[in-house]
Chains A and B, each alone.
Chain A
Amino acid sequence: MRPGSNKPRIFLLGVNHKTAPVEIRERLALKDIEPSPLELFSNLPCCEETVFLSTCNRVEILASSKDHGDATDMIKKLWLEKGGLSTANLSKSIYAYEGRQAIRHVFRVASSLDSMVVGEPQILGQLKEAYRLASKAGSSGLILNRLMHKAFSVAKRVRTETRIASQAVSISYAAVELAKKIFGELSGKKVLLIGAGEMAELAAQHLLTNGVDKIIVANRTLERAVELARSLNGTAICLDEIEDALIEADIVISSTGAPGIIVKKEQIQKIMRPRRHRLLFFIDIAVPRDIDPTINDIDNVYLYDIDELKDVVEENKAEREKEAHKAERMVEAEVIKFISWMDTLDVVPIIQKLQEKAEKVRLQEIARSQKRLGELTQKQRDALEILTKSITNKILHDPVVCLRKGLTENERDQVLAITCRLFGIDNGNNDKA
């Protein structure tokens, strides 16, 4: 065996809405390249198992490998190269996690604790889709299969047992309630989405079910706008066409990942006359904000950002934090469980070797005794087989049970090393032991 740990290790690299602007995220999403990013990374020798997740707000590579040495650097280098970006200015944007941290991150992402809008429901579906592609391509194996399934079940628990999820839903509910207080009837009203984020989609759907007439989607990349517009039965426009759309719209939901202000006060002052002073309701759910906060000072224009919408829901901050706390605790418990499962993984090969060795000895000894035993009937041969097998099994039974279940995390490495020494097994971990 080669030197180096035989323990499989999980690691994760990624960018999200907090660490990188949308331009970088989009390039790192590696859309339309051949081979597909999943294939690309799973071909690396350091990625035995790979899952590639790409959403509007994050791009992440999740991998697992026994031989991970400088895997992080290799992946990063390939990723930036394919995305056409230079390493220098991006080292801070890309986060890299290993082991416990990586597992926790995956669980938090799945439970929507790491989302721009905490508790928004789409991320779980996107993660499931990423996993589906990975298992279809055969790039996900024992470790990531289990990690993904655990992630889904944690997410489900967080969803049902805390009120994190109801918050995201309640934000779009609050947006609808507020819109109703401004417009009364929503039928015949037009909605403009600036940016095609997940939360905006959710709010738009909610408005649609409440009778909104028409939806216009403006996005920096027209492609995504068209895609979302199709699913909402609306029309798509470019980001530089929004001024005309603003004249038409009644409700504007903004959720771009742009670093600066997109809608300025002067723009709105200018369009109020062509709008014939019709009421205009802005909902800014982007972080950082897309809409100049002073727009709220214009007559007949109302602006709410995401925190103000949260206030509408009348859930106080302390309670929100309590729920988040509860969710984090659930995630942490699952992380610990998963790690102890992972730890049993390096016990398994030792147990296997132990059993292999015993079997080898048994067969050798039977072969050696063959001459002295002379010619045996089939019945006798069978009895001999059963006898020797049960002796080796009985002797190994207690050590195997102890290795499988009886070890605490602290003593594990030591006991494994001793086991190897006592039984003369090469555990492939010589440099450590």
Chain B
Amino acid sequence: MHRFLFQITLIIYAISSVGFIVQILTLRKDVERVCMWFLTAGFAVHTLAIGIRWVAEGHTPLVNLHESFSFLAWAMVGSFLLLQLGYKIKSLGAFLAPLATMAMGASSLQPAELIPLPPALKSLWLPVHASISLLAEAIFALAFCLSMMYLLQERQIKKKRLKGIFKRLPSLDTLDIMNERCLKVGFPLLTLGIITGSIWAEKAWGSYWSWDPKETWSLITWFLYAALLHQRLTVGWRGRRAAIMTIVAFATLVFTYLGASFLLSGAHSYATWFE
């Protein structure tokens, strides 16, 4: 059942991605409304799919790559919808929905069998650490999309090409402010994710910090975001420079999330747990 719902979700996300891209090209209000409905419906189905899987598995479905990708996509769409309640940045959908669809696609490529929880992961800290970290990642994904949009729009205004995409994107200040808010929410979550992970590591392996590759890269990522936040708050960094920095930090985050799982081996590697 949850697999069927998962497939439905993937299809709905894909459709709304295409829809949002059509919307940004044609600026049609009706397309925009339909897309929002689709995405909201997809989110509901996705929530149901995760819920059913949770019940079927008997533990939080955040254990393997399939589940974590799926949760990441869910969190991204969720935070986007939440953002739309307060600020109407519809064009963000054309960037975020494809990204979420990609995460879902990646998830669907991973083995999706229900698995019993490995003993090392049996702890209350698992859902806490994993969900907080993934939530931070989803919010930084949002910041990444906003930064891409900022760079696009900034280039249009700087080069004085005021047609096409220029009309579709929101103002620079709006994008920058949203980006900063994402950073201010995402950074504490990232910090909390690392702290809870460290506590859990102490419980599971008896050491708070063992410099495994994922831990090291998490720290690097954390420093990048910390530097960005610091520059923003003290020197008043903003605009293009902040957007580039956000993109660099997000690339590092993605590497931490994926690279450390696939390329480097260590306690965090989802791959190794199930060998």
Interface residues of A (CB under 8 A from B): 178, 180-185, 273, 275-279, 296, 299-300, 302, 304, 308, 311-312, 314
Contact = CB atoms under 8 A, between A and B. Distances in A.
A151 to B, nearest CB: 37
Contact of B158 (A183, A273, A302, A311): A302
A279 B154 CA distance: 11
B153 to A, nearest CB: 8
Interface of B: 153, 157-158, 160, 162-163, 166, 170-174, 177, 235-241
A296 B158 contact: yes
Q: Is the interface of B mostly helix, strand, loop or mixed?
A: helix
B83 to A, nearest CB: 15
B238 A300 contact: yes
Given A273-B235, A277-B236, 13 more contacts: A181-B157, A181-B166, A183-B173, A184-B173, A277-B238, A277-B239, A278-B236, A279-B172, A296-B158, A299-B240, A299-B241, A300-B238, A311-B162
Contacts of B158: 296, 302
A278 B171 contact: no
A182 B236 contact: no
A279 B171 CA distance: 12
A190 to B, nearest CB: 14
28 contacts: A178-B157, A178-B162, A180-B171, A181-B153, A181-B157, A181-B166, A181-B172, A182-B157, A183-B171, A183-B173, A184-B172, A184-B174, A185-B173, A275-B236, A276-B235, A277-B238, A277-B239, A277-B241, A279-B172, A279-B173, A279-B238, A279-B239, A299-B239, A300-B240, A304-B160, A308-B160, A311-B162, A312-B162
Contacts of A278: 236, 238
Contacts of A302: 157-158
A311 B160 contact: yes
A184 B171 CA distance: 5
Contacts of B241: 277, 299
A277 B245 CA distance: 15
Contacts of A308: 160
Contacts of A300: 238-240
Contacts of A183: 171-173
A360 B170 CA distance: 85
Contacts of A312: 162
A275 B239 CA distance: 13
A144 B27 CA distance: 55
A273 B237 CA distance: 9
B238 A184 contact: no
A273 B174 CA distance: 21
A170 B85 CA distance: 34
Nearest to B163: A314
A250 B240 CA distance: 17
B164 to A, nearest CB: 12
Contacts of B166: 181
B230 to A, nearest CB: 14
A317 to B, nearest CB: 15
Nearest to A300: B239
B80 to A, nearest CB: 19
Residue among B177, B235, B239 with the highest chain A CB neighbour number at 10 A: B239
Residue among A276, A277, A299, A308 with the highest chain B CB neighbour number at 10 A: A277
A275 to B, nearest CB: 8
B275 to A, nearest CB: 49
A273 B160 CA distance: 25
B160 A182 contact: no
Contacts of A277: 235-239, 241
Contacts of B157: 178, 181-182, 302
Residue among A300, A304, A314 with the highest chain B CB neighbour number at 10 A: A300
Contacts of B160: 304, 308, 311
Nearest to B236: A276
A299 B236 CA distance: 13
B170 A184 contact: yes
B235 A181 contact: no
Nearest to A174: B162
B173 A182 contact: yes
A277 B238 CA distance: 7
A132 B55 CA distance: 88
Nearest to A185: B173
B109 to A, nearest CB: 40
A58 B177 CA distance: 45
A13 B84 CA distance: 63
B114 to A, nearest CB: 48
Contacts of A275: 236
A314 B164 CA distance: 12
